[in-house]
A and B are shown apart, each in its own frame.
Chain A
Amino acid sequence: MSVSVQDKLFLDRFKVDEVSHLRIIDNKKCIDECRDQACLYLCPANVYRVEKDCITVNYEGCLECGSCRIGCAKLNIEWRFPKGGYGVSHKFG
């Protein structure tokens, strides 16, 4: 079953910073060395997507759970919190 995570993220309130708080350290590694590409599955906000021959980081919808940081088999993701007050802001929590 295909679910649009986009519809879910539209429900949330985000204050988006212009600068990404997530960065793939070496995208070449993702394509050449990483067989599992776990980030494509375990990210609850589908932040990581394959486009042409690289993985893009759609940080705007990040729910800040940290899963990609420790779930990446190559530990190839540089992960910071968004700047204070930025990022997702829960209405109900």
Chain B
Amino acid sequence: MRVSLLTGRTLDQGREKERGKFSEEYTRSAAVCFIDPEDMKELRIRENASVRVITDSGSVIVKARKSLRGPHPGIVFIPYGAWANVLVDPKTHSTGMPSLKGIPAELEPAPQEDSLSMEDLIRKHYRKA
């Protein structure tokens, strides 16, 4: 399903980062994707199911969360954090600012997969020289 990806702050993500970015609580607050209930029905996914979000910059597995304040079909939201930043567009268009909102993305169910912990995500994507 084609969607528009927004990233941003949530109260949970803000609070749980103070417990440490390697904590399970932080992962539960940031490795998630808020989706419109109608879109979840169309994709046949339930709350907490794994979904794959793909953009031109990368792809990541996160847990589906029902968006409480719809309707906003076609718009998904991932809180700030390492999971969201795998997907964002690094182009700054000569402003210094990458594009972190309104990114065209593809959303699909990923029932066989699980979202990665912070350590595993870092290990998967980044290598020291």
Do chains A and B stick together as partners? Answer: no
Enumerate chain B interface residues (CB-CB to A < 8 A): none
Enumerate chain A interface residues (CB-CB to B < 8 A): none
